Chains A and B, each alone.
Chain A
Amino acid sequence: AQSVTQLGSHVSVSEGALVLLRCNYSSSVPPYLFWYVQYPNQGLQLLLKYTTGATLVKGINGFEAEFKKSETSFHLTKPSAHMSDAAEYFCAVSVLKAAGNKLTFGGGTRVLVKP
């Protein structure tokens, strides 16, 4: 069975500081990995995804994530936090079923950005 662990349910960063959100996964097969973001009172939207190939994946709003197979990690980073980055972030691993994929999500990390 697949699982995802996000370290830290809450992260507080200063505006302009590095954002680092940690995600570790377990999967019996090569995984597809995702980061989603949820702004207040909204559904989730895709930040970025890893399928195959280049292990450093760039997403929207200046975020990127690096797939490290040896560490079973897919940490999300942004060099300089902006106030608009305050949101909840979810890491997910995909399982390919007979007719499509099914995502398993981590517990989420809520990001607070201080001025």
Chain B
Amino acid sequence: DVKVTQSSRYLVKRTGEKVFLECVQDMDHENMFWYRQDPGLGLRLIYFSYDVKMKEKGDIPEGYSVSREKKERFSLILESASTNQTSMYLCASSLGRGGGTSGANVLTFGAGSRLTVL
């Protein structure tokens, strides 16, 4: 089974701090994603990456950046944390485009990182 590991399950940070959320997958997946989960809003895509050193903005990228220096690792960075970034953050990975049904590639999720910004 693919494993997606998020380094921190719970974090508490102060407003203005720089925050790093780390995600590692162990099955050589090309694609990696960062979602934010809030009650009633479901999951919203922050950033995704199709390859090393490549990134694309999702639906809510403001206030976030990402880094993908190695294929297995995808980091989410909050340059200056704010209280409205208090949320659950979910990392996911999937196979890349490799065939006609790649649009149906399943995302495998990590357990999530719950961030509280005070």
| A-to-B contact residues, CB < 8 Å | 4, 6, 9, 32, 34, 36, 41-46, 49, 51-52, 90, 92, 94-108
Residues in A with CB closer than 8 Å to B42 are 4, 6, 90, 105-108
- Contact check, A43 vs B41: say whether CB atoms are below 8 A apart: no
Residues in A with CB closer than 8 Å to B12 are none
A-B CB contact pairs (8 Å), 7 listed: A32-B104, A43-B92, A44-B109, A51-B103, A95-B103, A102-B33, A103-B43
Given contacts A96-B97, A99-B31, 5 further A-B contacts (CB under 8 A): A42-B112, A44-B109, A51-B101, A99-B30, A100-B105
Query: Which 3 A-B pairs rank lowest in CB-CB distance, beginning with the nearest?
Result: A43-B109, A96-B103, A99-B50
Known contacts being A97-B50, A105-B43, A107-B41, is A43 close to B112, with CB within 8 Å? yes
